[in-house]
Amino acid sequence: MQQNQNQNNRNPQSLQSYRSAAPSWVMAGTVYENCVFLEGKVDEVALLFFETQSCLEYGEEDLPSQLSTLNLSYHVHLPLDLPWENADVTAQIILQLMEKVHFLGVRKAVLHPPVTQGENAFSVEAAQQKLTAVARAWKSHGFDCNDLLIENIEGADLVDLASVITDSGLGVCIDIGHIIAYGHTALLDRTDIFTRLRMIHINAPADITTQKGRSKHVSLENLDASGKRIARKVLQACGKDCTLVYELFNWKHIESTIPIVEELLLMEGQE
């Protein structure tokens, strides 16, 4: 991985040097029950707003005021089904969802960008324009574009969107499992993207040979030697303002992943 000067010279650090986070679903139960369980185990919770319509309908029962009393901070994972064919509508939805968590002081959000490869892909130019429009709306609403974190996903390895990310000052969330599952190896050589790194999604694909397996997140115990090299490269690019998110939906998988992350962070050697 080509990294900037500071990253190349950084010393490996222990896990305690970084901010940790987990999803708002690590066991059966409500968002509040999951957050109560996570309090004291992680610093931050990713509120999973995966479905647009149902999340727009969230009220006190779904996001109770008691969440603000917990010793946790929060960020939002925005919906997976945003209507990217209309960027203005997408921006409006994002801002409506951010308003729902205003009482928690939420300023950060993870966003799946419009895809530029595969089925239903947009042209690179169209995808760039759409993301630019959303970034403009985000900023005009008083948010910092560095807190809108663009994630590499199937059909969007971020390389096609690098210029927009840089020009708009957007943050980046790199998903380790997605790099492995969808062959995002070109991303690893992009210093311009890694310098915008604000968050890492830590997971492994269950099985890269099937569509279902590629999309299922499991413990880093499932990584082979090649996968561990990729994970180490990403993890060791994490700076002081970067959050490590164990994007695993089972607490046992998080528990088994934590010592592996610690090992990879401390490991030295050839990239």
The domain segmentation of the chain, as residue ranges, is 5-266
Q: Which amino acid is present at 183?
A: G
C-beta separation of 253 from 261 below 8 A:
no
Over the stretch 21-60, which tens digit does the pLDDT of each residue have?
999 999 999 999 999 999 999 999 999 999 999 999 999 9
CB-CB contact of 158 with 165 (8 Å)? yes
| Confidence grade of residue 6 (pLDDT, cut at 50, 70, 90) | very low
Can you give the pTM of this predicted structure?
0.94
CATH class of 5-266: alpha beta
- Mean confidence (pLDDT) of the chain: 94
% of the chain surpassing 90 pLDDT: 90
What's the token pair of residue 199?
């968050």
